[in-house]
Structures are given as C-alpha cells and as structure tokens.
C-alpha cells in the first residue's frame, strides 16, 4: 500500500547513516552477523496511560517489496563524501542488488494496547539488514501508533457517537494524511473524508459540504434545497454560514421536502460558535419539528478535551468531525519510539547481550531476545512482564520494576497469560496472516475493555505495571555495572 502510494521502490526511505553503517559492516566482514534489535517507546504520548500499537501492516507491505531497484543502486553508487570521492565501492552496490530480505520478525499485532519498554517489533537477522530497517520501521510505527492512540482517546470520550476524520487538509503531506486516516480508523473512528484512504484501505468515506456551497447561492435555503435535490440520500447540511439557528430552520424546511420525497434529513452540521448551546437549541428545534432521528454533527478544532467538556455541558452532538488536532497529534506531534541492538551472536554461535548506557535510567536499553507476557485474572489484564526467551521460565515468574528494584510482583506457574509478540516473518518469509482492518479496529475496543479504567483517564492516569523478568533484570543490571566499569566489557 505504502509503495503503491508513491509508485516507487522505498528501499531508500532510510537515513544515510544506515547505508554507511551497512557499508562498514560489509567491509568489516560483519554483514551477516546475526543480531537482534527491539523497537519500543519509552513514554506514552499525550501524558496518557496507554498506547495503541499500529503500523505493523504497513511494515509488512514495505518489507514484501524490500529490494533495491537499479535506479536506487545508481543513486547510492553516485553518493560522495567530503573529499568528493564516492562513498561506496561498486562491490557494495552489487551486494545490495543481490540482497534478499532474510530477517525474522516477531511483533505485537496492530490494535493491541501497549506500554513503555515493550518491544512492539523484534527483528532478528544479518546485522546489515536489521540496521537498514531501523529508520523505515520507526517511521511506519511511530506515527501510526501516535495517531491510533489519539483516535482511541477520542473514542473513549465519544462513547457510541459517530466519529468522522476530516484531517487531510491539515495533515503533514500526502502520506501523513493517508496513514493518519488509516490509524484514526483503527483507533476507533467510523469513517474518513479522505477518499484515497478509503480506496486504499477500505475505510468508509463520509462527508457533508463546505460554506462555499452555501455562499455560491443567492440564499442559504436555495443552497440547501439544491443540495437535497441532487443528493437526497446523503444530506447533512452545514447550518452556520450566516446564523446557525436560522440555518437549522432552513434545514427543517428542506427536511420536510425530503420527507415528501421519501428521504430523510440525515444531519445538520455546526462548525462555529458555542457548540454546547447551539447543539442543545438545534436538538430542540429538530425534535419539535419531528426530526428526532436527524443527527447533529459538530466540527471546529475539536479534540478529546473539548469533546469531554462539551459532553459535561450537555451538548446534543452525536457525530463529531475532527481534523487538525487528530491527524497532526497537535499536543504531541511525535511518538519517541526507538530501535536498539539487544543481542549479537559471537564466533562461538552464542548471544552476546548488548545495552546502551545513559545517565537517565529511562534511556538505558534492555538486552535480550525479548517477549512480553501479559498476565490476566478474572477482571482483565493485570501486568506485563518482559522476558528473554533464551532463558526458560520455570514455575513462578517474578518481575521487577526497571526503575525501582524494590517493587516486584510474582505470578504462580498456573497464572493465565498471553505472549504478545507473534511470528510475522521467518527468515524473510511472511508467515503471518494479515488481519482485516475492520477486525483490527474492533481489537482496540476489546483490548481497552480489559484494562483497569484508571489507565484510560486523561489526568494523572494510573501506571499499568510493566516489569522485567528477574533473570532479565539481573542480566541488565550486571551489564550496566560491567559497562560502567572502565567502558569496556571485561571477560565475564
Ligand atoms: N461550549 C463550548 N465549550 C468549549 N469549547 C467550545 C465550545 N464551543 C466551541 N468550542 C471550541 O472553542 C474553540 C473556538 O471557538 P470560537 O467560538 O471561539 O471560534 P469560532 O466559532 O471558530 O469563531 P467564528 O464564529 O468566528 O468561526 C473551538 O475549538 C471550538 O471547538
Ligand atoms: O477543525 P478541524 O478539526 O481541522 O476539522 C476540519 C475543519 O475543516 C473545515 O473547515 P476549515 O477549517 O477548512 O475552515 P473554517 O475554519 O473556516 O471552517 C471544517 O469546516 C472543519 O471545521
Ligand atoms: O465533509 C466535511 O464536512 C468535511 C470534510 C473535510 C473537512 N471538513 C469538513
């Protein structure tokens, strides 16, 4: 899909440093060295208590087409360094020409509720290949997870109301618009105004009309009548061009004409002014005129906080049209997902575990070939434990808070759980059946219903427990202590 949007190979959708490192690995004879990287984020967006994983299907689409075209190779071959000489020898472009994707990927399916430090994707394979994927994988997962999370927050406020995504005009370019529409749908929106996203992803498309339609006629009534005459099965009338409540009266007039023709006035749309007051007044007018089923759409710079406030004020809005604040994730425009090397195989064929140090505990990466175990009880999900699949778990599992070793939880062997990462690619072969987008959307809703409601509030949300399995915690601690020694890893 993503390749389709651009009609070109996207293998160069990466940072130059991935190519220079790939070249270095190749020159140093390390290109095929088996390695494991984890893609994860460190903090929920929007100061929230949960994140929705999204973007995996785009990653799969991207990797299915992963190869360097002759044009790509010619470009790579033409790149020069600071001395004006070529950066890469021709042998390297030949290597890239023959490169076949051989990585294994395990990932948390789209639509799953996820938490900081959990690997959303685990990539294992030749280090050169894993390295090249860092940037595109982060690009695909960070943005879509951000937007799906924003959309899910809006869905929590909207309850059973309809949510329409109207963001394309304010989106960050064409792909920003199209992928935001996809992620917004997965996060819980019902439809988009973005026709290309509808075509590419099978998302329902919906829309009303703009002020220009009304302004182009002599009168608002004539504009409404004309619209209803030609599109009687899709009538939502924007009533605020001149005076919203006069507009509602005109909409009712047209609604009566539609009734005579056997059609219905679908909805009216309010796009300015006090949306609480106007929706309450409009609801009264519509009900009194026998249009109880006619909906009320509100739009105008809405976000989850204004929606919440409008609900508290008793607004009679049942359809929300939301653009800018959703598709640009206005209050936090990026999710800080990262991609870190967690293990590399040595000459004896054993894993050497790796870790990035930092003065900030939150930035110290976690080693290991990681999996996430989500424990459940009768009420729902209770805690997530990140563990190293190379260390078999026997009997009781104990997990430790990575930022406070005095906090721990134990789960008996009989505990119910689910392991979140599932196999996607096995040595380059796709083994996963991609779920349909509508199923993924339902998954978000069903996942959220299994979590304690405190994680879903906007202000000071409850922190869901996520810990490192004791063996992994000990491995990480030992590595940190060794690395903090003299900067070199001494013999174990
Ligand atoms: N009752 C309300 N409570 C809280 N926020 C509201 C309410 N009504 C509208 N808003 C929000 O207030 C913001 C600004 O609305 P405001 O009425 O100032 O501008 P406007 O309606 O766009 O102005 P104009 O009439 O010039 O188009 C928008 O984000 C809108 O969604
Ligand atoms: O406000 P958003 O959440 O982005 O929703 C989309 C907005 O886009 C349209 O108007 P536009 O903003 O183009 O013009 P207007 O502000 O003059 O209504 C529409 O009328 C909405 O208000
Ligand atoms: O269909 C609409 O009403 C619409 C579409 C895009 C932006 N604003 C409104």
| Residue 207 Cβ contacting ligand 3 at under 6 Å | yes
Distance 453 CA to ligand 2 centre (A): 32
Report, as an integer, the average pLDDT of 148-152: 98
Distance 273 CA to ligand 1 centre (A): 5
Distance 300 CA to ligand 2 centre (A): 5
pLDDT band of residue 488 (cuts 50, 70, 90) is low
Question: What's the pLDDT score for residue 248?
Answer: 98
Q: Using one digit for the tens of pLDDT, what is the confidence trace for 113-133?
A: 999 999 999 999 999 999 999
User: Ligand 2: which residue has its CA nearest to atom 12?
Assistant: 300
| Residue 207 Cβ contacting ligand 2 at under 6 Å | no
Distance 281 CA to ligand 2 centre (A): 22
Report, as an integer, the average pLDDT of 434-445: 97
CB proximity list for 5: less than 8 A, separation 6 or greater: 174, 175, 178, 200
Report, as an integer, the average pLDDT of 330-350: 97
Pocket residue to mutate for ligand 2, from 241, 321, 322, 330, most atoms within 8 A of Cβ: 321
Tokens 């790939």 -> residue: 22
Pick 1 or 484 by higher pLDDT.
Answer: 484
| Residue 170 Cβ contacting ligand 2 at under 6 Å | yes
Report, as an integer, the average pLDDT of 465-488: 90
Question: What's the pLDDT score for residue 8?
Answer: 72
User: Ligand 3: which residue has its CA nearest to atom 9?
Assistant: 166
Q: Using one digit for the tens of pLDDT, what is the confidence trace for 201-225?
A: 999 999 999 999 999 999 999 999 9
Question: What's the pLDDT score for residue 437?
Answer: 98
Question: What's the pLDDT score for residue 68?
Answer: 96
**Of 250, 321, 261, 238, which Cα lies nearest the Cα of 286?**
250
Question: What's the pLDDT score for residue 489?
Answer: 57
Question: What's the pLDDT score for residue 253?
Answer: 98
Question: What's the pLDDT score for residue 491?
Answer: 56
Starting from the CA of residue 330, give the closest ligand. Answer: 2
Pairing of strands 466-469, 380-388: parallel
Q: Using one digit for the tens of pLDDT, what is the confidence trace for 325-335?
A: 999 999 999 99
ipTM of the complex in this document: 0.96
pLDDT band of residue 3 (cuts 50, 70, 90) is low
Residue 1 pLDDT exceeds 70: no
**Domains of the chain (ranges, CATH numbers):** 1-28+67-100 (no CATH), 148-327 (3.20.20.70)
Q: By the 8 A CB rule, do 180 and 167 touch?
A: yes
As a whole number, the mean pLDDT across the chain is: 96
Q: Using one digit for the tens of pLDDT, what is the confidence trace for 293-335?
A: 999 999 999 999 999 999 999 999 999 999 999 999 999 999 9
pLDDT band of residue 263 (cuts 50, 70, 90) is very high
Residues with C-beta less than 6 Å from any ligand 1 atom: 272-276, 300-302, 306, 309-310, 313
What's the half-sphere exposure (Cβ side, CA atoms, 13 Å) at 244?
21
Q: Which atom of ligand 1 is nearest to the CA of 298?
A: 31
463 DSSP assignment: P
Residue 486 pLDDT exceeds 80: no
Starting from the CA of residue 192, give the closest ligand. Answer: 3
User: Which element (helix H / strand E) includes 388?
Assistant: strand 380-388
| Residue 279 Cβ contacting ligand 3 at under 6 Å | no
Residue 490 pLDDT exceeds 70: no
Question: What's the pLDDT score for residue 464?
Answer: 97
Percentage, residues of the chain above pLDDT 70: 97
Which ranges in 43-172 belong to alpha helices (H)?
A: 56-64, 70-78, 90-97, 127-158
Distance 302 CA to ligand 1 centre (A): 9
């Amino acid at each position: 899909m993503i390749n389709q949007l651009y009609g070109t190979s996207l293998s160069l959708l990466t940072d130059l440093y991935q190519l220079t490192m790939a070249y270095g690995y190749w020159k140093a004879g390390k290109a095929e060295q088996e390695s494991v990287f984890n893609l994860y984020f460190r903090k929920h967006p929007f100061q929230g208590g949960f994140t929705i994983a999204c973007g995996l299907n785009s990653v799969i689409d991207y990797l299915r087409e992963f190869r360097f075209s002759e044009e790509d190779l010619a470009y790579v071959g033409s790149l020069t360094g600071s001395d004006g000489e070529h950066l890469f020898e021709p042998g390297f472009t030949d290597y890239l020409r023959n490169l076949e994707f051989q990585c294994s990927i395990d990932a948390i399916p789209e639509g799953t509720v996820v938490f900081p430090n959990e690997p959303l994707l685990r990539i294992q394979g030749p280090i050169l290949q894993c390295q090249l994927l860092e940037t595109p994988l982060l690009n695909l997962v960070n943005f879509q997870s951000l937007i799906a999370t924003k959309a899910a927050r809006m869905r929590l406020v909207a309850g059973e109301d309809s949510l329409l995504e109207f963001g394309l005009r304010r989106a960050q370019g064409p792909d920003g618009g199209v992928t935001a529409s996809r992620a917004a749908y997965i996060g819980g929106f019902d439809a988009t105004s973005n026709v290309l996203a509808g075509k590419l992803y099978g998302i329902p498309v919906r829309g009303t009309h703009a002020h220009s339609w009304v302004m182009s006629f002599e009168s608002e009534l004539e504009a409404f009548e004309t619209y209803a005459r030609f599109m009687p099965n899709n009538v939502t009338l924007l009533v605020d061009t001149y005076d919203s409540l006069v507009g509602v009266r005109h909409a009712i007039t047209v609604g009566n004409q539609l009734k005579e023709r056997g059609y219905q006035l679908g909805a009216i749309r309010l796009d300015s002014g006090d949306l609480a007051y106007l929706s309450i007044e409009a609801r009264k007018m519509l009900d009194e005129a026998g249009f109880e089923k006619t909906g009320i759409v509100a739009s105008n710079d809405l976000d989850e906080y204004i929606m919440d406030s409008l609900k508290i004020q008793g607004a009679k809005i049942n359809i929300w049209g939301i653009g800018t604040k959703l598709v640009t994730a206005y209050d936090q425009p990026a999710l800080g997902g990262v991609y870190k090397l967690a293990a590399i195989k040595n000459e004896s064929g054993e894993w050497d575990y790796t870790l990035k140090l930092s003065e900030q505990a939150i930035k110290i990466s976690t080693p290991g070939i990681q999996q996430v175990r989500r424990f459940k009880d009768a009420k729902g999900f209770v805690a997530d434990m990140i563990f190293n699949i190379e260390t078999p778990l026997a009997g009781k599992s104990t997990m430790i808070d990575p930022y406070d070793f005095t906090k721990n939880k134990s789960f008996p062997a009989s505990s119910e759980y689910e392991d979140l990462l599932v196999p996607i690619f096995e040595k380059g072969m796709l083994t996963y059946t991609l779920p349909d987008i509508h199923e993924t959307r339902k998954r978000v809703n069903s996942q959220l219903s299994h979590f304690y409601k405190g994680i879903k509030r906007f202000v000071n949300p409850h922190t869901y427990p996520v810990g490192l399995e004791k063996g992994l915690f000990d491995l990480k601690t030992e590595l940190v202590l060794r690395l903090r020694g003299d900067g070199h890893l001494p013999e174990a």
